[in-house]
Amino acid sequence: MPFNGFIDARVLVDGQPLQEYMDPDGIDNVRYVQATTGQRFTVEIRFLPGFKLQWAPYLHASLTFDDEEINWFRNLPTKGMAHRKGVLTKPESLQLGCTAAKDDTGTWKRTFFVFGALGLAETEDCNPISLEQVNKLGRLKLEVYRAQEVPRELPFITEGRLPDARETVPEKLLKGRYIKNNVRYDASDEVGCAPAIRYHDYLPVNGPAGKIHEFEFRYRNREILQYLGCIPRSPSPEPNHALALERTEEMLKAQKEERRRQNLEILRLRERLERAERGSSRESSTTIIGDDTIKREDGTPIKTEQPQQATKRARDEDDDELQELMPPPKRPAPTIELEDGDGQSGTAPRGTKRARDEDDDDLQEMAPPPKKMPVLVDLTDDD
């Protein structure tokens, strides 16, 4: 960040400063930085050569996260700094990146500052927050000034309790503010020391030398920074003409195969339709001319089989094979025996008729009627 009165501030991740981006609204002491969930960060304040100490005994820096009321501070004694007539000749710095806090067992542990993910809530009941607090989200606010000690009425003893990080925010209140990160506290396994009892407060020195220099970092993820115009959007890849041509050829080939398949399907359906039409036409145009012959419309006979000559087929239940069954034998014609009055029996000759006697209900043989004599016509002349 451009120094303010020979004071510079920056955000470090893994010992390296984050890239800073100008505020879209043009505010001089505001810079945007890219935040990645899970990263530990440190805020560093540097006093550059040319900074005027103004004979102040301390240089004070305090840091506030989002809408928290607690500020984290450090004091840097000016005694022993390299200066000439109260003007620094060598840079000096201090860092704010961790603190000491108690864990659940009451043990003091070193606790680091970490970028976290901010969740969205559907209602405001679960985590009440005011509109003023929402406007402070996503910000690291830093104040630096020349300080002096002022005795406290009562000594201050640090309890070691960390503020609860704001996990969620009502979606309705956050609408249009493009914030998806927060600050959390990550306790390490390192055992820390309890802060000393403080008997003094550190307030700005009197007069113009006690001016408060303010710096503000607004941390956002990469997507939001691109949306705000801080980071250029990822350029579109250059078109690969060879790949585009190859894909075009594949698409044309696929279309050709699809058309060919459709044409074959149409031909197959047409052939089935023609066969069906020919079959129905033959059935409607045949004429039966005898017991054994069926004649087509054009006069060509169709050979058929007699029912007696047709063989029957049955499926064998054991091996599912077809077996040929012979037609049943013909039944002999029945014969009727006739008895005359002498008790003799015999068969009626062919061509005779039989009648039932009205008295004894016996069959009697009746002679056939006499044949008519043919009529002869003489066609010869009398002469």
Question: For residue 69, what are the CA distances in angstroms to 117, 162, 297, 326?
Answer: 20, 11, 108, 110
- In the chain, the amino acid numbered 11 is V
Q: How far is CA 282 from the centre of its chain?
A: 59
The β-bridge partners of 241 are none
Residue 113's nearest CA partner among 129, 135, 95 is: 95
- 128 inside domain: yes
4-8, 174-178, 205-209: which has the minimum mean pLDDT? 174-178
Residue 129 lies in a domain: yes
Residue appearing with tokens 């996503």: 138
Report the predicted TM-score, pTM, of the whole model to 2 decimal places.
0.60
What mean pLDDT comes out for the span 343-370?
A: 50
User: Is 54 part of a structural domain of the chain?
Assistant: yes
Q: Is the pLDDT of residue 343 over 60?
A: no
pLDDT reported for residue 369 = 64
* Pairing between β-strand 71-77 and β-strand 58-65 as defined by DSSP bridges: antiparallel
Residue 357, pLDDT score: 47
pLDDT of residue 314: 43
Position 70 confidence tier, pLDDT thresholds 50, 70, 90: confident
For residue 102, pLDDT over 70 is answered with yes
Which SS3 state, helix, strand or coil, does residue 325 take? strand
Residue 322 domain-assigned (yes or no): no
By the 8 A CB rule, do 35 and 114 touch? no
Beta bridge partners, 158, equal none
Residue 365 has pLDDT above 70, yes or no: no
Name the token pair of 358.
């009205």
Residue range(s) defining the domain that contains residue 110: 7-228
Count the domains in the chain.
1
**pLDDT tens digits for 190-239?**
777 888 899 999 999 999 999 999 999 999 999 999 988 888 876 656 66
Question: Is 132 part of a structural domain of the chain?
Answer: yes
pLDDT at 191: 77
Q: Tell me the C-alpha distance between 136 and 131, whole Å.
A: 9
- Answer yes or no: is 126 within a domain: yes
Residues 355, 201: Cα–Cα separation, whole Å: 153
More confident site: 381 or 35:
35
In a domain, residue 351? The reply is: no
Token representation of residue 75: 């004091």
What's the average model confidence in pLDDT over 2-27? Answer: 89
For the segment 251-294, what is each residue's pLDDT rounded down to a tens digit?
A: 888 888 898 899 999 988 988 888 888 877 666 555 444 444 54
| Rounded Cα gap, residues 221 and 32, in angstroms | 10
Could you please report the per-residue DSSP string of 82-122? -EETTEESS-EEEEE-EEEEE-TTS-EEEEEEEEEE-EEES
